[in-house]
């Protein structure tokens, strides 16, 4: 993969990730708890890790439930919006990138209530870019 190709892969993934972020922020900001509009951004199976747990979601139903739980938690936190900070997109090859981003989350009054750094492994599948793994990084 040449430098130009890497740049093209990164730009394509970046544009896709911006659409994902906008979709997620709008959905969560509306107070919705149904995750159907997010499913097209994820691959199944999906691996997720935090300092507390490792999950492998092997069905669409499991993914839907996990995303729904996240949306419920945000609604309960009076979520208003998020901002993607310090975003880095790095092509690994023609079909995969790492996207590392800090999510700053704000409540409806505009106060930040959470800041989390997440590393996403994203693959270009037959259906387009999809998150295949996500890891919440230690603070």
Overall number of domains in the chain: 1
**What is the tens place of the pLDDT at every residue in 90-117?**
999 999 999 999 999 999 999 999 999 9
Residue 127 is part of a domain; what is its CATH number? 3.10.450.50
Confidence of residue 138 (pLDDT cuts 50, 70, 90): confident
User: Residue 125, Cα to own-chain centre: how many angstroms?
Assistant: 16
Q: Would you state the structure tokens that stand for residue 124, as one six-digit string?
A: 């270009």
Determine what percent of the chain is predicted with pLDDT higher than 90.
94
On average, the pLDDT of the chain sits at: 95
Residue 24, judged by CB atoms within 10 A of its CB (0-12, 13-18, 19+), counts as buried
Q: Name the residue among 77, 86, 137, 139 with its Cα closest to residue 111.
A: 77
Confidence of residue 139 (pLDDT cuts 50, 70, 90): confident
pLDDT at 2 > cutoff 80 = no
Axis-axis angle for helices 3-29, 60-76 (nearest 10): 60
pLDDT average, residue stretch 69-89: 96
**What is the tens place of the pLDDT at every residue in 25-60?**
999 999 998 999 999 999 999 999 999 999 999 999
Range of the domain at 81: 3-136
Q: Would you state the structure tokens that stand for residue 73, as one six-digit string?
A: 């938690």
């Amino acid at each position: 993969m040449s430098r130009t190709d890497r740049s093209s892969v990164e730009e394509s993934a970046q544009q896709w990730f911006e659409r994902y972020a906008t979709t997620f922020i709008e959905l969560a900001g509306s107070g919705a708890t149904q995750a159907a509009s997010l499913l097209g951004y994820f691959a199944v199976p999906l691996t997720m890790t935090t300092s507390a747990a490792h999950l492998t979601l092997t069905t669409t139903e499991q993914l839907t439930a996990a995303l729904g739980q996240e949306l419920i938690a945000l609604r309960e936190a009076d979520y208003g919006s998020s901002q993607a900070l310090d975003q880095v997109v790095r092509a690994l090859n023609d079909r995969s990138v790492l996207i590392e981003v800090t999510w700053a989350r704000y409540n409806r009054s505009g106060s930040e209530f959470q800041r989390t750094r997440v590393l996403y492994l994203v693959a270009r599948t037959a259906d387009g870019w999809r998150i295949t793994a996500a890891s919440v990084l230690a603070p």
